[in-house]
Amino acid sequence: MKRDDFTLISAQDLPKDDVHIVRHFIDGAWVDSADGATFERHSPAHGHLVSRIAKGGIAETESAIQAARQTFDSRSWSETSGKERATLLLRVADLIDQNRSRIARLEVLESGKPISQAEAEIEGAADLWRYAASLARTLHGDSHNSLGSDMLGIVLKEPIGVVSIITPWNFPFLIVSQKLPFALAAGCTSVVKPSELTPSTTTILGELLIEAGLPSGVVNIVQGFGDPVGSVMTTHEDVDMVSFTGSTIVGKAIERAAADTLKKVSSELGGKNPQVLFADADIDSAIDAIVFGIYFNAGECCNSGSRIIVHEDIAQDVIARVVELSKKVPFGDPLHPDTKVGAIIHQGHQDKISSYVEDAKADGAKVELGGAPIKIDGLEGAFYAPTVVSNLTADMPIASEEVFGPVLSVLTFSTMDEAIAMANGASYGLSAGVWSENIHTCLEFSRRVQAGTVWTNTWMDGFPELPFGGVKESGQGRELGRYGLDEFLEVKTVQMRIGRTRTPWI
Q: Quick count: other Cβ atoms within 10 Å of Cβ 505?
A: 4
Contact status, residue 263 vs residue 241, Cβ threshold 8 Å: yes
Give the whole-angstrom CA distance, residue 296 versus residue 484: 25
Using omega within 30 degrees of 0 as the cis cutoff, is the peptide bond preceding 406 cis?
Answer: no
Q: What is the largest CA-CA distance in the chain?
A: 91
**Which is catalytic among the residues 268, 368, 473, 487?**
268
Contacts of 241 (CB under 8 A, 6+ apart): 160, 161, 162, 163, 164, 188, 263, 264, 265, 266, 487, 488
Which amino acid, residue 468?
F
Pairing mode of beta strands 330-332, 7-9: parallel
Contacts of 93 (CB under 8 A, 6+ apart): 126, 127, 129, 130, 133
Alpha helical stretches, state H, 217-375 = 231-235, 248-259, 283-295, 315-326, 347-362
**Which is catalytic among the residues 188, 301, 302, 442?**
302
- For residue 463, the SS3 value is coil
Give the whole-angstrom CA distance, residue 409 versus residue 272: 10
The reply to whether 465 belongs to the active site is no
What is the sign, positive or negative, of the torsion defined by CA atoms of 10, 15, 19, 22?
negative
The reply to whether 302 belongs to the active site is yes
Q: b/e map of 153-180 (b: 16 or more CB within 10 Å)?
A: eeeebebbbbbbbbbbbbbbbbbbbbbb
| Residue 161 Rama label (left phi>0; alpha psi -120 to 50; beta) | left
Q: To 10 degrees, the CA torsion angle through 21, 25, 28, 29? A: -50
Stated as kind and residue range, the H or E segment containing 453 is strand 453-456
From the list 397, 386, 401, 337, the residue with the least C-alpha distance to 363 is 397
From the list 257, 261, 228, the residue with the least C-alpha distance to 64 is 228
DSSP 342: -
Contact status, residue 47 vs residue 34, Cβ threshold 8 Å: no
Contacts of 118 (CB under 8 A, 6+ apart): 103, 104, 105, 107, 108, 111
CA distances from 478 to 169, 454, 474 (A): 20, 15, 11
End-to-end CA distance of the chain: 88
- For residue 450, the SS3 value is coil
Phi, psi of 174, rounded to the nearest 5 degrees: -65, -45
Catalytic residues: 268, 302
